[in-house]
Structure 1
């Protein structure tokens, strides 16, 4: 299977669709994104972020591969490698049972488990994965569908972060202070939202081999350094700012030829 697309980041239309789906405003969505997700849905090679869960693969296949492949099929969680290397584990599982393998990984910005494809709004896990490969809008909408399907949209609407955290993270949510972190993030985003244009530029820099730091729509030292390095490489004036010429050239190189 081909898991690599253009890796298009979240757009204004995408986040608006999510807000409408959940009946909330952007600060509520960004609060959940900043606390409950990986922050960005793609690796630098444009494949969706994944984590392969061997205990889920064990359950999905009735443990029939436990003896031959204990690193990818076991009754206990573990065996993680992280990052792009998780695809090595996934590809091994695909060779054993494709549908079970796809259902046994968590996908994209919200790390939606493959077996939750119906709650995420898809008829099959293959359809979900294909959508997640295409763009981050689909990843975030799937997460929103999952939240709504599991009765958590109301807690977001009312700002009841303890109820949301309990439903999303389980009864031990207080141990990691998810509710407190969600409330703090919500307060922050009510003052200032991320710049989606800058966030897209950060993703483009990442794809082109530069290091903008966290893909968060906020200008920091690493983002400025990455912009400056890109400007130097392409012969643009070295300002460290995402001016119009830099943005147009950057996005054209990162996405039009992908």
Structure 2
């Protein structure tokens, strides 16, 4: 998806009335932010129960996952948008290193640890994303993690979506939509069975990678499950 494609989508939503010219100017930027903003629709106990029942889980299973992997929040009240993390090395890999020289803050190798440091506030992270969207929207959205599960945009198909734009629009709709996508991703990746069977180490390794022990994800999941009343 390039800037023109994005402008067409924003026009179809009634959010953009400017020219479809491939220039990500102030009107495009405002429409982009508006398309991914919504009233804070926090996750409810009913949402947890419904999502759990669809997958043969308990609310304790799903609640533990949310508590640990999302720190309990998928929408940022300061921006009205999903919690995100832009990954410049992922953008780089999707754009053939084309922007390393001109936009080193947006496109860089994974080994460059200093540039991987994120702004602490979501406002700053969204500014990084918007700057990358101005270059190649599709690559920028795929190079960002979204919502409760911090699922990378390039995993949109594993979450049940036809394209990355449809995925990020769902992430912006509510934390409930984020949870549905998160569980769909776990199912697609063969990890849902580990959650169901409380194999916390396997779940943590599959979701967080081999370094999961550095942050004790498996232990934290087990403790969160117990706090939620899991047996």
Instruction: Tell me which interval the TM-score lies in, with the shorter structure as reference length.
Output: 0.7 to 0.9
Which stretch of structure 1 is more off in the superposition, 152-161 or 76-85? Answer: 76-85
Q: Hey, what's the Cα distance between the residues in 1 that align with 2:213 and 2:40?
A: 34
- The answer to whether the 8 A contact 1:23-1:153 is kept is no
- Structure possessing the higher radius of gyration over alpha carbons: 1
- The answer to whether the 8 A contact 1:21-1:145 is kept is no
- Pick from 67, 82, 94 the counterpart of residue 101 of structure 2: 67
User: How many aligned positions are there?
Assistant: 192
Q: Hey, what's the Cα distance between the residues in 1 that align with 2:46 and 2:220?
A: 27
In structure 2, the residue matched to 1:16 is 49
Give every structure 1 segment of 4 or more consecutive aligned residues whose post-TM-superposition deviation is greater than 4 Å. Answer: none
In structure 2, the residue matched to 1:37 is 70
- The answer to whether the 8 A contact 2:48-2:63 is kept is no
Root-mean-square deviation (CA), in Å?
A: 1.7
Give yes or no for the alignment of 1:171 onto 2:215.
no
- Pairing 1:189-204 to 2, within 5 Å after superposition: 189-190=228-229
- The answer to whether the 8 A contact 2:69-2:148 is kept is no
In structure 2, the residue matched to 1:145 is 184
Q: Hey, what's the Cα distance between the residues in 1 that align with 2:71 and 2:135?
A: 28
- The answer to whether the 8 A contact 2:146-2:171 is kept is yes
Q: Could you list the per-position Cα deviations for residues 22-53 of structure 1 after superposition, in whole angstroms to 9, with x for gaps in the alignment? A: 32101011111111113211111311111100
In structure 1, the residue matched to 2:126 is 87
Give 5+ residue unaligned stretches, structure 2. 1-31
Q: Hey, what's the Cα distance between the residues in 1 that align with 2:130 and 2:172?
A: 16
**Shift of residue 183 of structure 1?**
0.9
Give 5+ residue unaligned stretches, structure 1. 192-258
- The answer to whether the 8 A contact 1:43-1:84 is kept is no
